[in-house]
Structure 1
Amino acid sequence: MVPQQRTAGGPAPTPDRDPVIDLARFFCLTLVVVGHILMVSPVLHPDGTVTSENTLGNQHWFEPVVWVLQIMPLFFVAGGITGLQSWRRLRARGGTASDFMQIRLLRLIRPAAVLLAVMFTGLSLALLRGVDPQVIQLLTSGAGMPLWFLAAYLAAQLNLPWLAALHGRAPWLTLAGLISLVVAVDCLRGILPELAYLNMVFVWCAVQQLGFIVADNPAFRPGRPALLGIVVASNMLLGLLVLLGLYSGNMLVNLNPPNLTLVLLGISQAAALQFLRPWLSRIASLARVRRFVGVAGRRSMTVYLWHLPLLAAMSGVLLLTDFPQPAGGTAGWWWGRPLVLLAVIALLMPIVALFGRLEDRPTAPGPAPGRPAAAVLLAAVAVFVPAVNAALNGLTLGLLGGGAACFALAVVLLGRVPARLTTPAGRTGGSEPPLPHPPLSANVEP
């Protein structure tokens, strides 16, 4: 796919999107939502205490399954593919790394700021009305998972401009350097456990770098037998590391903090994406599929941020009623999962209608200067302080309120995006910034 040519005197058209990447992201998001519904299981004990059990994660048979279905690395591979091309297009329009950070931050934190504000307000009122504090804490923890992903994804994306520069000079050396940092942290985490959280940056930047290589490095476009060999080899190496006792075989345990196993899964999933591309392309090219996936993709962050808090809220409300509560893992619990999924989808529909537009990029109505780099950096700090705190220590009601205030401050600091950074310049005789060669044209993210 290549950008369409512009007609004389007409506006520049939007470049074609890669439907395979859209479909892969939709698959990942669907798997995350379904997985959380199969995991979250609040329990009301006879003494009145409330806990939340990871029902699916506690099943021994699930460990080999989650090895296959742990698709978080694929999110970052796709983010590397799309992010690299978005950065190149922005730079061709005269944008800077600060502009890229501004756009990325706004894209992700505007929906999150509203989520935190709504949750803090609603849970504070519930606490004042006498709802048990343990139920409040159960509901509060529902936003913790989305926040850790937000912190990790932003860390990778905000480092993208300079990592892209290194990739342009030495792609494989850059990837090897990041993987070396991951291994070094894994080796030292037994001595200084706190160091393990550095891999929240190193692991996901390394996986994002795989997306760079998939996007425009011919060396990573081998034939299908070689791609299958990469999938097999990376999983065999991963299995060997697990058999040696160096890492857990449970990929949920390996997720937080992340380690080398997630990089190996990222290599496997990047190769699998390319191996399956011909079939995925045929599915994604169907008009109905492309239309549905396109609509869902434009509101994916809203769905991701809200689905777990809504699931936790629904579970918490049910604990306050006499509605039957089958024990986690029983036949009744399993039969009830489809109903829970339908209920979460029903709750998400009005949320997407109300808040989905916050994912659209706020563009200044007229000529506007870019934001000062200091304001963008301060906004990034305001976002990372509560997000990292929540990822490390868990989310509390107080941190929820502080996070809402910090995110709102960041949105104010970032302001609106200058129009020159969102539409191609009306120049004649010029050309659009290049996309990767077919069939790897990347999606220019909003």
Structure 2
Amino acid sequence: MVPRQRAGSGQAIRPDRDLVIDLARFFCLALVVASHTMMVSPVLHPDGTVTSDNTLGNQRWFEPVVWVLQVMPLFFVVGGITGLQSWRRLRARGGHTSDFMQARMLRLIRPAAVLLAIMFSGLWAARLAGVDPQVIQLLVFGAGTPLWFLAAYLSAQLNLPVLARLHARAPWLTMLGLTSLAVTVDCLRGMMPTLAYLNMVFLWCAVQQLGFFLADGGPRAPGRIALAGIILTSNLILGLLVWLGLYSGNMLVNLNPPNLTLLLLGISQAAALQLFRPVLSRIASLVRVRRFIGLAGRRSMTVYLWHLPLLAAMSGVLILTGFPQPAGGTAAWWWGRPLVLLGVIGLLLPVLALFGRLEERPTSPDPARPRPVPAVVMAAVVVFVPVADAALNGLTLGLLGGGAACFALAVLLLGRIPARLVADPGPGGSGPPLPRPPLSANVEP
């Protein structure tokens, strides 16, 4: 549970944010960025063709490592914690499902819309300038991972109000229902491969639901021995499923579309987050650590969306300039990874300065009315159309442009969040449904 602080009057109040969640999210983001620099490895072949190899993912020794370091489930667990808390505050102020959807989509879609528009414009200009189409496609691929994550995360978050109501009535039955749907999809995906993409909703909603249990806490929360038992049991079950040949032991293979293995990882990671919370809390409470993760957290979505396109762009430029590159997996290649990581960070800094503020919640200065429900629903549909197309048919330059247009249209449909939804209710109030700027690293809009 989030520790309470004491006000001057001695009354217990909640702090603005849970520093452990800040630290966990920063760790996940840093690990994702670092690991991608060891996966993207473009190769220029003698015949002039360009391919991109997943060097790290193709290493057999990496399978047990990624079992531990596959942190995508933890992203959704943390999203469940913060999302449920935000939803409950919003409900306490009289907010509705459409208000929650509007705020959540604006936070995620605005920075993504700008990224897609800039990528499409830049790549189209490069194509007109005569850049090899294969290099263009390599750079287009750079937008693929951010888009699928955005789709998965949005699908879970937009379902959060409904799932929160079900959780309040029957938490374990809701969890069992989502898990059963995910397993059913896994059983049928052999006959109907396209059906596997339904787990972009069922599976990630189930993992998000784990965060609901952590947010509830209370006296019935499992103790340290029980948490250690949960971690051990979930990994033993996962190992058994892999040993029986039902699932791959490579958690990168299991990621997209997701399957039951990621739910088991999510259970283990959620329990580990609680088990090590005292240690993590002491680390996160250090002044320098707190300031750094707070600053990084306010730009976390920008970092996630931009780091892979920037990495792909840097790789493409090196190919076009004929810069000598060692073969993937060689000693020289591994020694060059820290330089690649530093290069990506260097490119991210000006991007954060230019576009980082797009993550801040856009609010109307006057008491404007919330957007009509049909406009919010239409915005969600408009966003998911290009994303679903990219998941099923692959991302192309044309689809990238269509996605940028759809995302821009969704932003127009959503408008701006009315100030009343983020206003301070004053002394004695229930607290704002959503944190006031500057945004916390861990509290979602």
Place the TM-score, normalised by the shorter chain, in its bin: over 0.9
Is the CA contact 2:194–2:392 (under 8 Å) kept in the aligned structure 1?
no
Is the CA contact 2:302–2:359 (under 8 Å) kept in the aligned structure 1?
yes
Is the CA contact 2:189–2:195 (under 8 Å) kept in the aligned structure 1?
yes
Matched with 1:311 is 311
* Matched ranges for 1:37-436 at <5 A: 37-218=37-218, 221-426=221-426, 429-432=428-431
Is the CA contact 2:179–2:202 (under 8 Å) kept in the aligned structure 1?
yes
Is the CA contact 2:370–2:417 (under 8 Å) kept in the aligned structure 1?
yes
Q: List 4+ stretches of structure 1 deviating above 4 A.
A: 3-7
Is the CA contact 1:214–1:220 (under 8 Å) kept in the aligned structure 2?
no
Is the CA contact 1:4–1:16 (under 8 Å) kept in the aligned structure 2?
no
**TM-score (norm. length: structure 2):** 0.95
Deviations 1:114-157 (A, max 9, x none): 00000000000000000001000000110000000000000000
* 1:445 maps to 2:444: yes
Q: Counterparts of 1:221 and 1:400 in 2: how far apart (Å)? A: 45
For the structure 1 residues 153 and 120, does the alpha-carbon distance in structure 2 shift closer, same or farther, using more than 3 Å as the test? Answer: same
Q: Counterparts of 1:404 and 1:210 in 2: how far apart (Å)? A: 33
SS at match of 2:53: strand
SS at match of 1:254: coil
Is the CA contact 2:211–2:270 (under 8 Å) kept in the aligned structure 1?
yes
SS at match of 2:424: coil
How far apart are residue 222 of structure 1 and its match?
Answer: 1.4
Q: Counterparts of 1:83 and 1:269 in 2: how far apart (Å)? A: 18
One-letter amino acid of the counterpart of residue 134, structure 2: Q
Is the CA contact 1:93–1:420 (under 8 Å) kept in the aligned structure 2?
no
Is the CA contact 1:3–1:16 (under 8 Å) kept in the aligned structure 2?
no
Q: Counterparts of 1:16 and 1:357 in 2: how far apart (Å)? A: 20
One-letter amino acid of the counterpart of residue 75, structure 2: F
SS at match of 1:95: coil
How far apart are residue 444 of structure 1 and its match?
Answer: 3.0
How far apart are residue 433 of structure 1 and its match?
Answer: 7.8
For the structure 1 residues 60 and 4, does the alpha-carbon distance in structure 2 shift closer, same or farther, using more than 3 Å as the test? Answer: same
Q: Counterparts of 1:429 and 1:228 in 2: how far apart (Å)? A: 40
One-letter amino acid of the counterpart of residue 164, structure 1: A
For the structure 1 residues 277 and 413, does the alpha-carbon distance in structure 2 shift closer, same or farther, using more than 3 Å as the test? Answer: same
SS at match of 2:323: coil
Q: Counterparts of 1:218 and 1:252 in 2: how far apart (Å)? A: 35
Deviations 1:414-440 (A, max 9, x none): 0000011112334x65443899xxxxx
Deviations 1:64-120 (A, max 9, x none): 000000000000000000000000111111110000000000000000000000000
How far apart are residue 219 of structure 1 and its match?
Answer: 7.0
How far apart are residue 195 of structure 1 and its match?
Answer: 1.1
How far apart are residue 172 of structure 1 and its match?
Answer: 1.0
Matched with 1:10 is none
Q: Counterparts of 2:429 and 2:216 in 1: how far apart (Å)? A: 22
SS at match of 1:218: coil
One-letter amino acid of the counterpart of residue 395, structure 1: L
Is the CA contact 1:238–1:264 (under 8 Å) kept in the aligned structure 2?
yes
How far apart are residue 221 of structure 1 and its match?
Answer: 2.3
Is the CA contact 1:3–1:432 (under 8 Å) kept in the aligned structure 2?
no
Q: Counterparts of 1:307 and 1:434 in 2: how far apart (Å)? A: 31
Deviations 1:336-390 (A, max 9, x none): 0000000000000000000000000100011100000000001001111111222
Matched with 2:4 is 2
Q: Counterparts of 2:307 and 2:220 in 1: how far apart (Å)? A: 35
Instruction: Please give the root-mean-square deviation of Cα atoms over the aligned residues, in Å.
Output: 1.9
Structure 2 residues without counterparts, runs of 5 or longer? 435-439
Q: Tell me the number of residue pairs that the alignment of Structure 1 and Structure 2 aligns.
A: 435
SS at match of 1:94: coil
**TM-score (norm. length: structure 1):** 0.94
Q: Counterparts of 2:96 and 2:273 in 1: how far apart (Å)? A: 31
Q: Counterparts of 2:83 and 2:274 in 1: how far apart (Å)? A: 18
